[in-house]
Amino acid sequence: MDSNETINSSEQEAGELSHSDKMIGVFSEPAKMFAHTSKFPPRNKDWVIPVVIFFIVIALIRIIAMTNKEVYFEAKKQGIERIEKMVESGTMTREQGDEAIEAIDQQMAFMQGPIGWVITIATTVIFGLIIFFIIVGIYYLFIKFLFKGEGTFASALVASGLTTYLNILQTIIGGILTMLLGKMIMDTSLASLMGSDKTTFTGWLLAKVDPISIWAYIILAIGFAKMFKSESTGKYYALVIGLWLIGGFIIFQLAQALPFLQVFLQ
């Protein structure tokens, strides 16, 4: 038995890491953690737990934030501005726009009650999971057919899911800043901290200057490389960062033509 086989055998005998160890490993030793995790069959709980927690945290922060009058009126103002842009672009008629603006108060008031809280949490989790699967699916297609990676869709889910713990941290920080600054902040970008309009090109660029997001994408690239047993991490950095920037720019351009998509830029 050669030295590599001895190392692999030792790691197998050591057993798979617990989920809590993997969570800590994402922050402390991601390369080592993902390399060890890749030697075992992907476990659903390694992506289900962090992803569900992430979307529940997002929903709870939004619910709590709406109890702040400044945040409430800022959110209402942004909603009205989006509708006005849709009217200006011809997506809505003036009459439809007025009706939509009138409905904002009723909708926001309803969402502040117990039933509204349940709806907020449920819809955030459901639609969040759908978007999560789509994004992971796109990564998986590139990894499988472009890089010929040795792994399954479940491997991509685990890499993405465990990395979500960084997004949870970011969302919590954003929630604290929301209550302190009196405006909805869901990330840690310069655009959010400076109050820049993310629907403008300058705002979009500043939104990409986000230390925690950059950190998360770097860890995600490492996770993909290790879970798909690649000796080269560089191409995964290029894939993840490239899709983040290019995909984000495509959404930005679409939002200019279709104002209702601007909600994805916030």
Region 212-217: mean pLDDT is: 96
Radius of gyration of the chain (CA): 21
Binned at pLDDT 50, 70 and 90, residue 262 comes out as low
Judge whether residue 3 has pLDDT over 80. Answer: no
Region 185-196: mean pLDDT is: 88
DSSP 261: G
Average confidence score pLDDT of the chain: 87
Binned at pLDDT 50, 70 and 90, residue 266 comes out as low
Judge whether residue 209 has pLDDT over 60. Answer: yes
Work out the number of other CB atoms within 10 angstroms of the CB of residue 132: 19
Region 223-240: mean pLDDT is: 95
Region 91-101: mean pLDDT is: 80
Contacts of 60 (CB under 8 A, 6+ apart): 121
pLDDT of residue 237: 97
Judge whether residue 105 has pLDDT over 90. Answer: no
CA separation for the pair 10, 13 (Å, rounded)? 5
Sign of CA dihedral 214, 36, 144, 5: positive
* H or E segment to which residue 26 belongs: helix 19-28
